[in-house]
Amino acid sequence: MDLHIDKISKTFSRNGDENTVLGGIDFRVHEGEFISLLGPSGCGKTTLLTIIAGFQKATGGRIILNGDQVSSPGPDRGFVFQDYALFPWMTVQDNILFPMKEMGVPKAQRDKNLTRLLQLSKLTGHEHLFPSQISGGMKQRTAFVRALAGSPQVLLMDEPLGAVDHQMRQSLQEELEAIWLNDKTTVIMVTHDVDEAIYLSDRVIVMSACHGRVVADVSIKLERPRERVGSAYTKMREELTEYLHQGFWEGQEKAI
């Protein structure tokens, strides 16, 4: 897997007004990496992720996956929406089976994968419940393993842990890491939470507040599983917070 976000720009036009949200974002993603896109609200994170997914087109630049340009959605890119987007009329089990059925995975293999994914996400025993009958965290885990069920080359997640409380968020981060360490699927995750980015990522890409630019591309070399304390962690936190400030003020200056 090799993914190149090649000078992606995006300008929205409405009633003659032009709003440049992404101004030539360029970075590469390597096999098995966990990358976070970190930036303030409105900086264009969702826009960039949906362009990578092929849900909308860039104004300029290209998305190159394994040497080929991609411009429409495909099973090679899994997507986890912020609001889960589970099928409410399907049980947990049927939600997870859905992408495998779509792809024509044989039944025996589907059942084997389902058992593994239910175990990974600690949903065994809850597989016959409907989304309305399970908690936010369980919905989140269902959405996550459903996206993994299609065996994507890269998993795109838009603030997958945004809708849960602090305690639940930390425990879901730990579970997400455990699943990811087991699976090693390449991940690009959108977040505006510095701690979440440090806890989970191999690399954090910080975006500026306006005119979407990459302010910094920082490798996180802390050992896994990570401690949320200690001087190395604190230093990383300070560094990323500083970049976020830098990106914020850069945006303001341009906007004035």
Ligand X SMILES: Nc1ncnc2c1ncn2[C@@H]1O[C@H](COP(=O)(O)OP(=O)(O)OP(=O)(O)O)[C@@H](O)[C@H]1O
Binding site for ligand X (CB under 6 A): 12, 19, 21, 39, 41-47, 192
Residues 6+ apart with CB under 8 A from 249: none
CB-wise, 43 or 120, nearer to ligand X? 43
Q: 192 is in the binding site of which of ligand X, Mg ion, none (Cβ under 5 to 8 A by kind)?
A: ligand X
Residue 46: CB minimum distance to ligand X, A: 3
Rounded to the nearest whole angstrom, what is the least distance from the CB of residue 49 to Mg ion in the complex? 8
Any contact of residue 191 with Mg ion (CB under 5 A)?
no
- Partner from Mg ion, ligand X, none contacting 44, C-beta within 5 to 8 A by type: ligand X
Q: DSSP secondary-structure letter at 132?
A: G
- Taking the complex as a whole, how short is the minimal distance between the CB of residue 59 and ligand X, in angstroms? 12
Beta carbon of residue 44, minimum distance to ligand X (angstroms, whole number):
4
CB-nearer residue toward ligand X: 116 or 254: 254
For residue 105, give every residue at least 6 positions away whose Cβ sits within 8 Å of its Cβ, in sequence order, or none. Answer: 113
Distance CA 120, CA 127 (A): 13
Q: What letter does residue 27 receive in the DSSP assignment?
A: E
Task: Report if residue 113 touches Mg ion, rule: CB under 5 A.
Answer: no
What is the token pair recorded at 112? Answer: 């084997």
Do the Cβ atoms of 133 and 116 come closer than 8 Å? no
* Four-point Cα dihedral 23, 24, 27, 33, nearest 10: 40
For residue 161, give the DSSP letter: T
Q: Report, in Å, the least distance between residue 203 CB and ligand X.
A: 18
By the 8 A CB rule, do 141 and 175 touch? yes
Write the binding mask 58 to 97 for Mg ion: x where contact by CB under 5 A, - elsewhere.
----------------------------------------
Do 11 and 21 touch, CB atoms closer than 8 A? yes
Which strand ranges, in their side-by-side order, compose the sheet holding 154-158?
Answer: 77-80, 154-158, 186-191, 34-38, 203-207, 214-219
Q: By CB under 5 A, how many residues form the interface with Mg ion?
A: 1
**Interactions with Mg ion, residue window 30-49 (CB under 5 A):** 46
Site for Mg ion in 46-65 (CB under 5 A): 46
- Answer for the pair 151, 183: CB distance below 8 angstroms, yes or no: no
Distance in Å, CB of 3 to ligand X, minimum: 19
Minimum distance from residue 5 beta carbon to Mg ion (Å) = 17
Structure token digits, residue 235: 């230093």
Quick one: what does residue 36 bind among Mg ion, ligand X, none, with the CB cut-off 5 to 8 Å set by partner type? none
- Judged by beta carbon distances under 5 to 8 A according to partner kind, the member of ligand X, Mg ion, none in contact with residue 249 is none
Q: Which is nearer to Mg ion, 46 or 173 (CB)?
A: 46
Rg (CA), the chain: 19
- Cβ distance to ligand X smaller for residue 5 or 145: 5
Binding residues for Mg ion, rule: CB under 5 A, are 46
